[in-house]
Chain A
């Protein structure tokens, strides 16, 4: 899924790109202090992404840790190279 825009903080935008590459959904919401949300579709876990966290690099690492926890093994039928 492609989000409609990029997060203004580069480190966070990069972490969100890594989340998308790991098959997580990134949704831009802009509600209060929340820029958007990362969702793991298989287990419906959700992560709130701040627009202006205290430290962008730290928030990026928090996103990466969420991504790592939700990089589930792909279903056999979706594995690269299978047909």
Chain B
């Protein structure tokens, strides 16, 4: 089996007792750290697929009563980030995004209409870049992105009136 490397953010820094519980729960393939105030677990987990690796890591952490808040996927990017990844200036990417330049059809931002920093999804921008700018940029692993969205949906689904309707949307 292949080891899959990924990092998750936990709801808090584990205490000594919680570290022992995490170790006993199977997280002896993970490294726990606190960086910039964030509680991070870095996994190198053997599993048939990346999705299996992430799900088993989430289950192990939850069995030690901690919460996985995020999977680090680097999918949320600014125009400057896109410029760095493409090898062009932020300004030239901004002009592609607004259609002042290039063929148009640039993926919409995540937070349109907001003053200040605008974010895009790299998973949407990368195919556009490959097709229209002929720069062979890599994708973020889709399993990381979807896992992150599902973690968020799991936490908030209890507040949705008729969650089944939305779940059906995911199913088909």
Binding site for B on A (CB under 8 A): 31-34, 43, 45-48, 50, 52-55, 58-59, 61-63, 65-66, 69
Interface size class of B (residues with CB under 8 A): 10 to 19
Which B1-53 residues sit within 8 Å CB-CB of chain A? 3, 16-17, 19-20, 23-24, 28-29, 31-36, 42, 44
- Cα A39 to Cα B29 with chains together (Å): 20
Cα–Cα distance between A66 and B7 once the two chains are bound (Å): 12
Check B42 against A45 for contact (C-beta < 8 Å).
no
B contact residues vs A (CB 8 Å cutoff): 3, 16-17, 19-20, 23-24, 28-29, 31-36, 42, 44
**A31 & B16 in contact (Cβ 8 Å cutoff):** yes
Name the B residues within 8 Å of A58 (CB-CB).
Answer: 3, 29, 44
Residue from the list B3, B17, B28, B42 in contact with A50, Cβ < 8 A: B28
